[in-house]
Chains A and B, each alone.
Chain A
Amino acid sequence: AQSVTQLDSQVPVFEEAPVELRCNYSSSVSVYLFWYVQYPNQGLQLLLKYLSGSTLVKGINGFEAEFNKSQTSFHLRKPSVHISDTAEYFCAVSDHYGGSQGNLIFGKGTKLSVKP
């Protein structure tokens, strides 16, 4: 079964600094990868997704992630964070996309705290 590991449960960072949130997944023949963000008391919002093609994926709010098959990683990055990026970020994987079963397997989440 697929699994996802988010190596950092909490990441504190100063405003305008770069940030990287790490995500590793268990290997599979085909895998589809996602990053979601959850602001306090809200549902999950999709930041970006990797389905195929270019390994560098750009998402909303200036975030990007790079799919690395050899390292089974999908780390999320932003070159300069804002206070408003304070939220919890979830990495997720699915074996299927557009098929008959698409439930997501989530990591435990990383709480990003941006300080002024």
Chain B
Amino acid sequence: GAGVSQSPSNKVTEKGKDVELRCDPISGHTALYWYRQSLGQGLEFLIYFQGNSAPDKSGLPSDRFSAERTGGSVSTLTIQRTQQEDSAVYLCASSRYSDEQYFGPGTRLTVT
């Protein structure tokens, strides 16, 4: 079946602009995660949605980062006023409840 999809695959933006990254989880998966993969920091957890519960935002690095999940399915990660240090690959994963996580191919964000 279809896996986790993310769009765009690549995004180049100018410093100071806002960007939106999209994640389509596997159908029926109740949990959705965002991670960031960068050269300096490795893989970092950002935010976690589980069903209708309040999201766990403990990994968001600053208030410029936010995410929402509409209808318990698609999620959008928004970065406002992008900075060069935001350049990274943003990975989305989904799982049924909180078991095995399936990862998407990622969005490579480059801030110039």
Residues of A near B97 (CB, < 8 A) are 98
Q: Is the CB of B98 within 8 A of A101?
A: yes
Stretch at the interface among A19-27, A37-45, A78-86: A37-45
Q: Which A40-82 residues have a C-beta within 8 angstroms of B?
A: 41-46, 49
> Are A103's CB and B42's CB within 8 A?
no
Please state if B91 and A96 are interface contacts (CB–CB under 8 Å): no
Tell me whether B88 is interfacial, beta carbon within 8 Å. Answer: no
**A101: min CB distance to chain B, Å:** 6
Across-interface contacts of B82 in A (CB, < 8 A)? none
* Least CB separation from B100: chain A residue: A46
Residues of B in contact, count (CB < 8 Å): 26
Question: Please, how many angstroms separate the alpha-carbon atoms of A93 and B108 in the complex?
Answer: 25
* Of the residues A42, A46, A90, A98, contact of B43 by C-beta under 8 Å: A90
Residue pair A103, B105 in contact (C-beta under 8 Å): no
With an 8 Å Cβ cutoff, the count of chain A residues facing the other chain is 24
Contact with A along B45-86 (1 / 0, CB 8 A): 100101001001001000000000000000000000000000
A43 and B106 in contact, given A97-B98, A100-B98 (Cβ under 8 angstroms): yes
Q: How far is the CA of A92 from the CA of B93 in the complex (A)?
A: 14
Q: Is A116 an interface residue (CB 8 A)?
A: no
Residue contact B99 to A44, C-beta cutoff 8 Å: no
8 Å CB interface, B22-46 against A = 31, 33, 35, 42-45
Beta-carbon nearest neighbor of B31 in chain A? A102
